[in-house]
Amino acid sequence: MAAVRPAFTIGIEEEYLLVDLATRDLVNDPDPRMFADAVEVLGPQVTPEFLRTQIEIGTRVCETLQDARQQLAWLRRAVSEVVSRYGVGIIASSTHPFGLWWEQMPTDKERYKVLAEDLGWVARRLVICGMHVHVAIDDPDLRIDLMGQVRYFLPHMLALSTSSPFWGSRNTGLRSYRTSVFRTMPRTGLPEDFSSWNEYERHVDVLVRAGIIADASKFWWDVRPSARYPTLEMRISDICTRVDDAITVAACYVAVLHMLWRLRTHNQRWRKYAAMLISENIWRASRYGVSGSLMDYGIGELVPFRDLVEEIIERTAEDAADLGCIAEVARAREIVENGTSAERQIAVYEQAVAAGASPDEASRLVVDHLLIDTQYGL
How far apart are alpha carbons 291 and 305 in whole angstroms?
A: 7
Helical axes 275-288 vs 154-161, angle rounded to 10°: 10
Establish if 360 belongs to a structural domain: yes
Establish if 61 belongs to a structural domain: yes
Please report, for the domain that includes residue 33, its CATH number. 3.30.590.20
Q: Are 160 and 290 in contact (CB under 8 A)?
A: yes
Establish if 354 belongs to a structural domain: yes
pLDDT tens, the chain, 378 aa long: 457 899 999 999 999 999 999 999 999 999 999 999 999 999 999 999 999 999 999 999 999 999 999 999 999 999 999 999 999 999 999 999 999 999 999 988 888 888 888 888 888 899 999 999 999 999 999 999 999 999 999 999 999 999 999 999 999 999 999 999 999 999 999 999 999 999 999 999 999 999 999 999 999 999 999 999 999 999 999 999 999 999 999 999 999 999 999 999 999 999 999 999 999 999 999 999 999 999 999 899 999 999 999 999 999 999 999 999 999 999 999 999 999 999 999 999 999 999 999 999 999 999 999 999 999 875
Amino acid at 337: E
Establish if 245 belongs to a structural domain: yes
How far apart are alpha carbons 221 and 80 in whole angstroms?
A: 30
Establish if 1 belongs to a structural domain: no
Q: Checking DSSP bridges between strand 131-136 and strand 10-20, what pairing results, if any?
A: antiparallel
| Residues 6 or more apart whose Cβ sits within 8 Å of residue 305 | 156, 159, 288, 289, 290, 291, 292, 293, 294, 336
Q: What is the pTM of this model?
A: 0.96
Strands (E), 222-267: 223-225, 231-234
Establish if 5 belongs to a structural domain: no
pLDDT score of 1:
46
Establish if 4 belongs to a structural domain: no
| Residues 6 or more apart whose Cβ sits within 8 Å of residue 217 | 227, 228
Establish if 3 belongs to a structural domain: no
Domain with 203 in it? 10-376
How far apart are alpha carbons 353 and 372 in whole angstroms?
A: 20
How many structural domains is the chain composed of?
Answer: 1
- Phi, psi of 199, rounded to the nearest 5 degrees: -65, -40
pLDDT score of 2:
57
pLDDT score of 344:
98
pLDDT score of 378:
59
